[in-house]
Amino acid sequence: MKTKIFSVLATVAVLISTIGCVQTVTDRTTSGVFGFKDSFENRYERTVDQAFEHFAAEPRFTRGLHLLRRVGLGYLTLGQPATQLSGGESQRLKIARELSERATGATLYVLDEPTVGLHMADVEKLIRVLHRLVNGGHSVVVIEHDLDVIAEADWVIDLGPEGGVRGGAVVTEATPEGVVRCPASHTGAALRPVLARTAEVVMEGRRDVG
């Protein structure tokens, strides 16, 4: 049976259903699924983070909410219509759904700027989720401008050298470190301080351990 997603709350309920706690889910049944005792309006004004705290003692509910928090969507209200989500938010909802399902073999994920609208701290959460997918044997292709995401890539294809009609050519393709060494790459120039910062953090960690 296909479930039509009308809101973030319905999406969370679908995640719970996938995990195996709920059999059928629609927007009309999610109030029963979650058992909120406040008004209809207040229930839908709760954020994912607030609902997670509300159900802290109910693991069967919090796992679905936790998956949304892991992909940086804790700030969304449960009543947020799916049609009003940004492209990046919609893609992260799909990632959460994928993480809730049992592995069915290697999968290719293609994401188009999933960091749109994300705070820096939530970008870090998303990066950890992408690493989890790769470590699980999947492949992830990301079209992205966020330098922190680019710095974490195994391989970068840099298109340019400019935008619009002056772009579209492959400037270089290499590891992030290789892109930095390409003098024609604007991405490499912007990426250099990001990689330097990352290397400095690693060195600080090693000194702390030592």
Can you give the CATH number for the domain in which 33 is found? 3.40.50.300
Whether 188 maps to a domain, the answer reads: no
* Higher pLDDT, residue 111 or 20: 111
Q: How far apart (Å, rounded) are the C-alpha atoms in residues 57 and 120?
A: 29
Residue 171 in any domain: the answer is: no
Tell me whether residue 175 is in a domain. Answer: no
77 domain-assigned: yes
Domain tally for the chain? 1
Between the alpha carbon of residue 11 and those of residues 59, 80, 82, 160, 179, the distances in Å are 17, 10, 9, 38, 39
What does DSSP say about strands 139-143 and 108-112: parallel, antiparallel, or unpaired? parallel
Q: What pairs with residue 156 in β-bridges? A: 174
User: Is 187 a domain residue?
Assistant: no
- For residue 23, being part of any structural domain is answered with yes
Please indicate whether residue 32 or residue 117 has the higher confidence score (pLDDT). 117
- pLDDT digit string, tens, across residues 120-162: 888 998 999 999 889 988 999 999 999 999 999 999 999 999 8
Return the higher-pLDDT residue of 117 and 205.
117
Is the pLDDT confidence value at 26 over 90? no
Instruction: Confirm if 53 and 138 have CB atoms less than 8 A apart.
Output: no
3-state class percentages of the chain: helix first, strand second, coil last, to nearest 5: 55, 10, 35
The dihedral through the CA atoms of 169, 170, 171, 177 has a sign that is positive
Which structural domain range is residue 94 located in?
A: 1-105
Does residue 104 come out as left (phi exceeding 0), alpha (psi in the -120 to 50 range) or beta?
alpha
146 falls within a domain: no
Predicted pLDDT at 201: 58
In a domain, 13, yes or no: yes
Q: Percent of the chain having pLDDT more than 70?
A: 73
DSSP E strand boundaries for 113-184: 139-143, 156-160, 169-174
